[in-house]
Amino acid sequence: MNPKPQRQLHPLPRGLVELYGLLAVLFVLVPEWMADGALSGLRQSRDGSLLPMPTSAWQRIPELRLAAMNLRDLRQLAKELRLWGYSGLNREELSSSLLRKIQARRGKAL
> Does the pTM exceed 0.85?
no
Residues 81/96, Cβ–Cβ less than 8 Å:
no
Q: Which pLDDT does position 74 carry in this prediction?
A: 92
Q: Which pLDDT does position 106 carry in this prediction?
A: 78
Q: How many CA atoms lie within 13 A of 2 on its CB side?
A: 3
Residues of the chain with pLDDT under 70: 1-2, 42-55, 57-59, 109-110
Q: Which pLDDT does position 46 carry in this prediction?
A: 53
Q: Which pLDDT does position 68 carry in this prediction?
A: 84
Q: Which pLDDT does position 75 carry in this prediction?
A: 92
Q: Which pLDDT does position 15 carry in this prediction?
A: 92
How many other C-beta atoms lie within 10 A of the C-beta of residue 77? 19
